[in-house]
Structure 1
Amino acid sequence: MTRPPIQDVPVAEYPIRLGQFLKLAGLADHGAHARELVEAEEVQVNGRLETRRGAQLRAGDVVAVGGHRARVVAHPPTADTT
């Protein structure tokens, strides 16, 4: 069985909380859905079950829900044009 590809999701500020990242990555439709996924023990971070919606994620962490995986990546800095 092959593992699903990992979607890289740029994050502007660190750390980001798990509930926020689930929404940003499209793994949850809204905050209540993120809470439901975590409470139903359907979320893994770096291969381990995570039951804290407020768990802090850092660059490189991989979040898995069902058959989808997303990795926290640093948002590239914007060019300063001033």
Structure 2
Amino acid sequence: MSNSSTKTIEIYAEPIALYQILKFEALVSSGGEAKIAIDEQRVSVNDKIETRRRKKIISGDVIEFDGERFKVILK
């Protein structure tokens, strides 16, 4: 777990697929790259490694990727 502060990701509808959040927030350059990152177990949701690309993300979930933490909130 990293010591960096948690950033916020605002979503406008829930649930949203995990790979879509990575793509929409420009944490990766494409949906394909997002799926690879998930397949390589580089993404965690609520402190657990997540391998489901279409894992449904809802407000309150915390995503960790590349040493950064993001809390998802519904706008």
Q: State the TM-score, normalizing by the size of structure 1.
A: 0.83
Confirm or deny: 8 A CA contact 1:25 1:70 kept in the other structure: no
- Tell me if 1:65 matches 2:65: yes
Give unpaired runs (5+ residues) of structure 1. Answer: 76-82
In the alignment, the residues of structure 2 paired with residue 67 and residue 42 of structure 1 have an alpha-carbon distance, to the nearest angstrom, of 9
- 1:2: Cα distance to partner? 5.9
In the alignment, the residues of structure 1 paired with residue 40 and residue 68 of structure 2 have an alpha-carbon distance, to the nearest angstrom, of 16
> Superposition RMSD on alpha carbons, in Å?
1.5
SS at match of 2:60: coil
SS at match of 1:32: helix
In the alignment, the residues of structure 2 paired with residue 2 and residue 51 of structure 1 have an alpha-carbon distance, to the nearest angstrom, of 20
**Equivalent residues, number:** 75
1:6 aligns with 6
Identity of aligned residues (%): 31
Residue 28 of structure 1 aligns with an amino acid whose one-letter code is V
2:47 aligns with 47
- 1:26: Cα distance to partner? 2.6
Bigger RCO (CA 8 Å, 6+ sep):
2
Determine which structure has more spread, i.e. the larger CA radius of gyration.
Answer: 1
- 1:25: Cα distance to partner? 2.4
Give unpaired runs (5+ residues) of structure 2. Answer: none
